[in-house]
Amino acid sequence: MIGRREFITLIGGAAAWPLAARAQQSARHAGKLPTVGFLGANTPSSMSHWTAAFVQRLRELGWIEGRNLAIEYRWAEGHLDRSPALIAELVRLKVDVIVTHATVNVIAAKQATSVIPIVFAAVSDPVGNNVVASLARPGGNVTGLSAQISDVAGKRLELLREIIPALRRLAIMANIDNPSHVLETREVQAAAHALGLKVATSELQQGHDVASAIDALKGTADALYVQVDPLFTTNRVRLNAQALSAQLPTMHGTREHVAAGGLISYGTSLPDMFRRAGDLVDKVLHGAKPADIPVEQPTKFDLAVNLKTARALGLDVPRTVIALADEVIE
């Protein structure tokens, strides 16, 4: 969301206009506006906060969509098997830079072009998944922001234990087609073991598998840890409604799930990550090579709690957790 003060600054930011004018003049001379090819892994509505943060940052840097910059949007809508074809469309359009997120999308972009710069807004393990050579020296035509934080899983489970003191059995929901799920599952299992929890993993591939997967967990799990994945974000309303029906508290990585009825989320602030991706795109549009732009780490984390869901589950969220929350849904 853009605050009133930020909005006024954005509209009245005189310092940005000379840059905008120069870029516009350059674009007219070339006969084509600089173009960003944007591939979202989810639906436009589920990513609205993230996309708005990205566009806002570009505006602050002098890049005004429709004036001196064009953005070609494509949406995988949780079906990442569509990503290669969507990326191919952007390559055919000869965009100046491709912006995307999620490991599958970035890999698809890398396979489609070694020439067009690629900026990823969030990838859980860019080195481990061979997206970049290293964080300091990405190499090739790819750079971006890493969402990999080793202790996030542990903090999520500690928060769950605070809300559910009797927590003993944890289920993990993972998308088996996501290359990052192995790393996250390993981290959650290690954190759960340290807390003395029993763990079971439910692996899905399609959105229509959500209902049956949650039904199978009835009576066998005290809480559900939902991995960060476009498949689950796109199907977040169905997933959380089903979990609530099964009286299964849920832990998520993004606030969008809590807004859709999930119990609690803790993780990297994706609006902040997409905002910072705007800075990297600005560098690329000014001629910097992705190989020379280090991959950045997350600096902002969000905690969100849905008290309405907690009441429906018969849970009393401690005041200590509410006090720490960035967002509380009544």
- DSSP for 94-142 reads T-SEEEE-SHHHHHHHHHH-SSS-EEEEEES-TTTTTSSS-SS---TTE
Question: What pLDDT is attached to residue 7?
Answer: 40
**Domains annotated on the chain, with CATH:** 4-148+270-299 (3.40.50.2300), 152-268+302-329 (3.40.50.2300)
Percent of the chain surpassing pLDDT 70 = 89
Does residue 205 contact residue 233 with C-beta atoms inside 8 Å?
Answer: no
Question: What pLDDT is attached to residue 10?
Answer: 41
∠ CA(137), CA(63), CA(48), 5° rounding? 85
pLDDT at 329 over 80: yes
Q: 203-212 pLDDT, tens per residue?
A: 887 878 888 9
Mean predicted confidence (pLDDT) in 211-225: 92
Question: What pLDDT is attached to residue 109?
Answer: 97
> Which CA distances in Å does 244 have to 106, 112, 164?
34, 41, 15
pLDDT at 18 over 80: no
∠ CA(218), CA(225), CA(276), 5° rounding? 150
pLDDT at 30 over 50: no
Question: What pLDDT is attached to residue 118?
Answer: 98
Q: How much is the mean pLDDT over the chain?
A: 89
How far apart (Å, rounded) are the C-alpha atoms in residues 213 and 158?
A: 24
Structure tokens at 15: 């310092």
Mean predicted confidence (pLDDT) in 237-257: 94
> Which CA distances in Å does 305 have to 42, 173, 324?
22, 19, 10
Band the pLDDT of 1: cuts 50, 70, 90.
very low
Question: What pLDDT is attached to residue 170?
Answer: 97
Question: What pLDDT is attached to residue 39?
Answer: 98
pLDDT at 85 over 80: yes
Question: What pLDDT is attached to residue 28?
Answer: 40
pLDDT at 6 over 50: no
Band the pLDDT of 295: cuts 50, 70, 90.
very high
pLDDT at 302 over 50: yes
pLDDT at 282 over 60: yes
Mean predicted confidence (pLDDT) in 110-126: 95
pLDDT at 20 over 50: no
Question: What pLDDT is attached to residue 151?
Answer: 65
pLDDT at 182 over 90: no
Mean predicted confidence (pLDDT) in 145-159: 85
Q: Which of 25-29, 90-94, 227-231 has the highest mean pLDDT?
A: 90-94
How far apart (Å, rounded) are the C-alpha atoms in residues 155 and 259?
A: 20
Band the pLDDT of 177: cuts 50, 70, 90.
confident
Q: 258-280 pLDDT, tens per residue?
A: 999 999 999 999 999 999 999 99
